[in-house]
Amino acid sequence: MERLIFDLILQKKQTMKNLLFIICLISFSTLNAQVHPHALGLRAGGSNFGTGGELSYQMGINEVNRLELDLGFRGRNYGHGVSNSTFALSAIYHWAFNITEGLNWYIGPGAQLGFYRYNNYYNEKDKLYTNGSGIAIGIGGQIGLEYDFSDLDVPLLLSLDTRPMWSFSNYYGGFGYGGAFAIRYIF
C-alpha cells in the first residue's frame, strides 16, 4: 500500500513538472522577439566539419520567424602537403523569442550543402594517403542568444549560437557541432 501511494505521488509530481514546462513554453511563445526585415554580417566559429567564417544574411519572414543563409569557407594547411578546404551554404529557419528588452533566443531546423577537398589525407580504412573531393549534405538545427541594439538606435545585432549537424559524406561524415559569434548590420 505504501508503495502504491509513493508511486501516485511521483506520478502527480511528474505531471506537475510537465504542466509547468508547457505553461513556460506557452508564455515564452507569447513573448515574441522583434525580427528585422534584413540583417547582414559575419558569423565566425568552428566545428569538426563546418565552416570557420561565414557571410551571414537574415531575412525576416514575419514577426517571429526568419530565414538565415550563411555562406562559409574554411581552409587549413597542416604542412608537409597535407591540407583540406570546405565551402558550404547553410540555411536555417528560426523562431525567435524575447527574454527581456533587446535580449532574444532563437531555435530552428536547418540544412547545409558543402563541397570539400583534401590533399594527402590518411585514410584509416585503407591505410594509405589519398587526395579527393566531394559533396557533403548536412541536416540539423541552430540554437542561440542574440542582443538587438536597435532599441538604443544602433542598427546592430550580436549573437552567440551553436549549430549541431549530422553530415553525410565520405570525409566529414557524422555528427558535429560548434559555437559561433556573429555580428550583423540591421536594415
Q: What percent of the chain has pLDDT over 90?
A: 48
**Has residue 76 been placed in a domain?**
yes
Domain CATH number, residue 173: 2.40.160.20
**Has residue 80 been placed in a domain?**
yes
User: Can you say whether residue 81 is alpha, beta or left, with left for phi > 0 and alpha for psi between -120 and 50 degrees?
Assistant: left
**Has residue 11 been placed in a domain?**
no
The lowest-confidence range among 75-79, 93-97, 111-115, 153-157 is 75-79
Please answer whether residues 67 and 106 qualify as being in contact, where contact means their C-beta atoms are separated by less than 8 angstroms: no
Residue 6: per-residue pLDDT: 59
Confidence of residue 69 (pLDDT cuts 50, 70, 90): very high
Q: What percent of the chain has pLDDT over 70?
A: 78
Q: Measured between alpha carbons, how far is 9 from 15 in angstroms, rounded to an integer? A: 10
Q: Measured between alpha carbons, how far is 82 from 47 in angstroms, rounded to an integer? A: 19
**Has residue 70 been placed in a domain?**
yes
**Has residue 10 been placed in a domain?**
no
**Has residue 25 been placed in a domain?**
no
**Has residue 135 been placed in a domain?**
yes
**Has residue 20 been placed in a domain?**
no
Per-residue pLDDT tens over the stretch 138-147 = 999 999 999 9
pLDDT averaged over the chain? Answer: 83
Q: Which helix (H) or strand (E) holds 106?
A: strand 103-123
Per-residue pLDDT tens over the stretch 78-94 = 887 788 788 899 999 99
Residue 24: per-residue pLDDT: 53
Per-residue pLDDT tens over the stretch 44-53 = 986 655 567 8
> How many domains does one find in the chain?
1
Q: Which helix (H) or strand (E) holds 89?
A: strand 82-100
> In which domain, by residue range, is 107 found?
31-186
